[in-house]
Amino acid sequence: MNDQQKLVATIPHNPGVYKYFNAQNVLIYVGKAKNLRKRVASYFNKGATHNRKTKKLVSEIKDIHYVVTNTEFDALLLENNLIKTNQPKYNILLKDDKSFPYICVTHQRFPRIYSLRNIDNAKGDFYGPYISVVKMRSVLDLVNKIYSLRTCKYNLSKQNITNKKYKICLEYHIGNCKGPCENLQSEEDYANNLLQAIHILKGNIAAPRKFLEEKMRSYAATLAFEKAEEYKVKLAQLNTFYTKSIVVNPKLNSLYVIALISTDKKGYVNFMSVSNGSITQTKSVEIKKQLEESDANILIAAIPQLIKNIDINHPTKILSNIDAPEIPAPLMLEVPKIGDKKKLVDMCLKNALFLKRNSEQRIETSNKNDKTLALLQQALSLTTLPSHIECFDNSNIQGTNPVASMVCFKNGIPSKKDYRKYTIKTVIGPDDFASMYEAVGRRYKRLLEEKEPLPNLILIDGGKGQLSAAVEALKNVGVYGKIAIIGIAKRLEEIYLPGDNLPVHINKKSPALKLLQQLRDEAHRFAISFHRDKRSKEQISSFLDNIKGIGHKTKDLLLKTYKSPDKIKKAPLEELSKLIGVRKATLLKG
């Protein structure tokens, strides 16, 4: 398992946002997903057909961070915020200055309801955001039609209405407005209608739903089915139009969110920065815990690492799940119990939990692998821990297409970037010993030339014969005695050591033997796959491939015309000359 696969294995199957970083720890891409692990894994799937831009992106990825959200909708909004804030070079969409639209309820007398992209609290109260402009417009149309709210921009002050400055417009005559501009609707009645409309914008749709259902049933009872259908459509829109988000919430001013979970040895902290109601920054860190250090002290110590450039003249508000009474000014700590602030802390806490789980899994895997390698060292009486093991295997069918493979395990885990394939060049016929000699010799001669580190242990898939051939190759290269080497026989899982006629038997249930079996099976799989690929390529080739001057187009034309290489060989020279020309026909017959 390579580094990227290890990173992917730690990612949960929750909705959220993933962030790719390059070798310089620069954010290069932000994406969102309904299932984080599946989406991220798709980038590293060898069978995937990525375009050139995606291939270039994948080649630069050195680290992966993620933020778990409550819903896919929250993930979309967070992705939008992070892209606009950080401008990653591989993100093309969402980089402009456009934001998702909101609905504004103005602060004027007889308030208007209209759409706006930029939040300005001086203008009114904001609700949203809406990821669909069509859906947002349907909401505006819905509340205006149900509650007959005004759409004009008139200044409906008491003086202007008393002086009859404005006249009723077409909206009044078609029933979309009740004429407050001419004092035909009282301010109290308008305020009651507006309150119901705000319930819809907040997602409290029980009362509006009841109103629409009653209208629909009353029209249906009088056989006015067209009107009933109209209210049925409005009811469907009402039931589906709104999803409340805590990722973008204009009710939340600029603040920070820090959630902490601790164990005896470590503290796991997740941090979010909220600016103008939107999450613009996320980060997760592990902190080494001092002896008997309290959670409050860990939180206070983490704040300077997470929040840069604290203004001592202005209070800095922090939401957290941990109370720290001794937090210094200008910091103001709040532990919310209900509402959107509590939901933000809960989302932050969820990410801290994932950080803790991933850290514990890494430690558990590392400890398990260390114990297995220690058992293997003890069973084979090795002088050093076999943290770097390489295993060789051969594959051929009756001597045809002979190949060899080498797989590498580091710290008990496959290191696939170090796998190697060998096409056997010096062996004719089925000779496994000679093939093993060539593959082992080529591998360690190359490592010495490139001054690469040698493994701690070499495993040969085979008995005494293959092991002896590998030992001779090591002697020829000059590294015999510097690397421990063993062979494993498949029948009884016996371990052979150089110069020892009696095999070593490791307990069948021992993790050490299971590790050697895993290495042997992986080398066998890798060799078989390589051999099958070579055999398949040979089967689709023909004698035409070996004739200089016969290209792919000519070859395709001949096979399309004669259907098989045998029929091409039997075709008369004159017939071939007419088809592909005299020169090429002569080459075929020559």
**Model-level pTM?**
0.52
Give the pLDDT score at 537. Answer: 64
Give the pLDDT confidence score for residue 313 in this predicted structure.
66
What is the pLDDT at residue 471?
A: 92
Whether 388-538 and 255-358 are alike in CATH topology: the answer is: yes
Any idea where the domains of the chain sit in the sequence?
Answer: 3-86, 102-205, 255-358, 388-538, 543-589
pLDDT at 399: 60
Q: Could you report the per-residue pLDDT of 145-166, keeping only the tens digit for each?
A: 777 888 888 889 888 888 889 8
Helix ranges (H only) for 316-452 are 339-380, 432-449
- Sequential DSSP letters for 144-164: HHHH----------HHHHHTT
Q: Which residues of the chain have pLDDT under 70?
A: 1-5, 46-48, 93-99, 130-132, 134-135, 138, 203-205, 237-251, 276-277, 309-313, 398-399, 536-546, 590
Please give the pLDDT value at position 442: 92
Contact 214, 184 (CB under 8 A): no
Distance CA 16, CA 103 (A): 25
CATH superfamily assigned to domain 388-538: UvrC, RNAse H endonuclease domain (3.30.420.340)
Domain 3-86: CATH superfamily is GIY-YIG endonuclease (3.40.1440.10)
pLDDT at residue 469, rounded to an integer? 92
Q: How many CB atoms lie within 10 A of CB 359?
A: 16
The third-level CATH classification (topology) of the domain covering 255-358 is: Nucleotidyltransferase; domain 5 (3.30.420)
Query: Is 386 in contact with 370 (CB distance < 8 Å)?
Result: no
Query: Tokens in use for 272?
Result: 């979010």
In DSSP terms, 104 is beta-bridged to: 114, 126
d(CA 146, CA 212): 9
Q: Are 227 and 254 in contact (CB under 8 A)?
A: no
DSSP conformation class of 487:
E
Measured between alpha carbons, how far is 18 from 502 in angstroms, rounded to an integer? 55
User: What pLDDT, on a 0 to 100 scale, did the predictor assign at position 457?
Assistant: 93
Give residue 340's pLDDT. Answer: 79
| Maximal CA-CA distance, the chain | 115
Omega of the bond prior to 88 within 30 degrees of 0, cis?
A: no
Q: What is the pLDDT of residue 443?
A: 92
Residues 6+ apart with CB under 8 A from 426: 434, 438
pLDDT at 93: 63
